[in-house]
Structure 1
């Protein structure tokens, strides 16, 4: 018997036609001020990153949705063009500030003193606060539109970013992600999310997210 995975109709899709987010979205901690808007670009969730990265004990510009089953795929479309090194936006698989995985687009200093966009990947390494960061040296040129997905399976997650027909991806074993934090406990379960942050400074370039959805994947057995 061979297991074949198929995507069912959408389990959930973000309603981006309202003036505020629908119930079911979460922040990490209480933000000092609102980091998003649904009015500036109709049909998009526009996020303005702050100076707090994903490992910060403060409240980064991070919006989360709960994972509700073992086999799901979180999908987003991102439009982002960073103009300073360290500006970054993308999708995140969240356990807590000590352990998470992310894939996105970041500003990178160029040889001519300019800034180029590159794929940024951050993998948990099985210990709290220990990550494998890589820029992958994949420059995306003038491209500003990206598709990001986080595929959940019972024992692993696969994060991927696709642009212009090219995909960068990596897989995270559940055991490497769900490590006990050095203080406190993990009570929220795993979440999917979107984020934007600057390297010690607010992000002046908006990150526009759209087509935010979760699909419920099923397994069919066939010969």
Structure 2
């Protein structure tokens, strides 16, 4: 039996949910503060996946403005009913647990009959019931139930627990209107029950719940009821279905979703992280920059209870009757003339206007820098890609001749507005030459800059060396070797933000900006490439 790599979707791909339509599988994950939102992946074997589009591609669907890190689009559910595909999710417009600021979102769904058609997904239909981690379930009588997670009104704030619980109510799907008051169907002793999914299999309803929080205590539990979605719910004797310790190769396992293949075989996906080893010791997972990824496992049934991964912990490989999928170690975008960037590029927040072109200069991405720098909570002129390999080199080539100070274009390794490292071209102090400016974070919200003069006015190659321990940024002119600046440690680059949460993974990208003014000279990038 061929061996395959886990995760099946590497890099920033948390909270997976999937659906089968005939022999085709579709999967989506959380995108938080990035646009477009809700990627649509397609597969025929659940192992090899291709990004075919996004569900949220228009400002009328998703208008991200100044959300904190970790806000935005959370934990979707993907479902198919009567020929229509549905994705539920929610938009956190204010999320800062450090200040106990949570504006509970209403949540919504979008739908389509053709996920392959660009921009085919509907505008959102909003729910009445607030919360996050929305789930839809159609019962046999046609009733539709919405489950969400939020803190019950009667929660004792002095308990020291978050108190997040699963609430369910019947809704009118066409309008999102609640038809019943929400009922609590699961509270967790840990204080966090989230990521719920309800399915029906034969005589039982099953409630799958992620508990313990999305950090090291994360786990997946299941309950069943022969009565209906409101229970009573019977506790599975095999709970938790999946969990991990801080010594395992795969950690933080949970937030699962299930699918039945056309053959009757069941599989599940979940999120997890891969810590790395230093001197034979496991490092803290959140020092691993890639973030929470999507993993696959087998599901079997015994005494009408599901068993995940044969009752074993997740590993970094698994066996399956499918062609092996080699890891993608090289990627390159040569910026062919097109109306839109290729799939896989993201903006921080929803751009207020289009500030790039793939046609104004042949085989180049042209950025017209807007007025927001990379520390802005708004949407700077920046395009980003998910880092999917811990080790490798990110490279680009830039033509940029700024005529005014405070304009800059370059490349960036980006965690959030409080933590990033960039290397960019600027106008020199005397106005007759140019300089390279290396900007890196020293602690969240604090940055230091180093500058060096460039010798020519030609193209400049920019690079980021990535490793498990640090990022090293450098530049080169003409055919010279790279000049490297001092490395930035992973501890610094993955620090928690002062507001919001670090729920994403690291991204690598290209940018241009003018300080509170438009940059009147274009920044032209000849390519972007990553070699692992």
Question: Shorter-chain TM-score category?
Answer: 0.7 to 0.9
User: 2:469 matched to which residue of 1?
Assistant: 155
User: 2:440 matched to which residue of 1?
Assistant: 123
Shift of 1:9: 8.9
Structure 1 CA distance, aligned partners of 2:412 and 2:456?
Answer: 23
TM-score, scaled relative to structure 2: 0.37
User: 1:206 matched to which residue of 2?
Assistant: 522
Shift of 1:129: 0.4
User: 1:4 matched to which residue of 2?
Assistant: none
Shift of 1:132: 1.1
Shift of 1:63: 0.4
Given candidates 392, 404, 416, the residue that maps to 1:96 is 416
Shift of 1:20: 1.4
Structure 2 CA distance, aligned partners of 1:108 and 1:61?
Answer: 22
Q: Does residue 77 of structure 1 match 2:392?
A: no
Given candidates 505, 512, 516, the residue that maps to 1:196 is 512
* 2:401/2:521 contact within 8 Å kept: yes
Structure 1 CA distance, aligned partners of 2:481 and 2:520?
Answer: 27
Higher relative contact order (CA 8 A, sep 6+): 1
* 1:84/1:108 contact within 8 Å kept: no
User: 2:499 matched to which residue of 1?
Assistant: 183
Structure 2 CA distance, aligned partners of 1:118 and 1:212?
Answer: 21
Structure 1 CA distance, aligned partners of 2:448 and 2:512?
Answer: 19
Structure 2 CA distance, aligned partners of 1:38 and 1:115?
Answer: 29
Partner SS, residue 433 of structure 2: strand
Partner SS, residue 499 of structure 2: coil
CA RMSD of aligned residues (A): 1.7
Which 4+ runs in 1 deviate beyond 4 A?
A: none
Partner SS, residue 175 of structure 1: helix
Structure 2 CA distance, aligned partners of 1:121 and 1:161?
Answer: 10
**Alignment deviations for residues 105-161 of structure 1 (CA, whole Å, 9 cap, x no partner):** 111331xxx353101010111x210111122xx222542300011111111111111
**Alignment deviations for residues 70-116 of structure 1 (CA, whole Å, 9 cap, x no partner):** 11211101111111111100000000000000001111331xxx353
User: 1:14 matched to which residue of 2?
Assistant: 333
C-alpha spacing 1:12/1:167, structure 2 compared with 1 (3 Å)? closer
Structure 2 CA distance, aligned partners of 1:90 and 1:206?
Answer: 12
Structure 1 CA distance, aligned partners of 2:385 and 2:510?
Answer: 9
* 1:27/1:62 contact within 8 Å kept: yes
**Structure 2 residue ranges without an equivalent (≥5):** 1-326
User: 1:57 matched to which residue of 2?
Assistant: 377
Within a 5 Å distance, the mapping from 1:129-148 to structure 2 comes to: 129-135=445-451, 138-148=452-462
C-alpha spacing 1:46/1:142, structure 2 compared with 1 (3 Å)? same
**Structure 1 residue ranges without an equivalent (≥5):** 1-7, 217-223
Partner SS, residue 472 of structure 2: strand
Partner SS, residue 109 of structure 1: coil
* 1:73/1:149 contact within 8 Å kept: yes
User: 1:23 matched to which residue of 2?
Assistant: 343
Within a 5 Å distance, the mapping from 1:105-124 to structure 2 comes to: 105-110=425-430, 114-124=431-441
TM-score, scaled relative to structure 1: 0.86
When Rg is computed on C-alpha atoms for both structures, the one with the higher figure is 2
Structure 1 CA distance, aligned partners of 2:334 and 2:368?
Answer: 19
User: 2:76 matched to which residue of 1?
Assistant: none
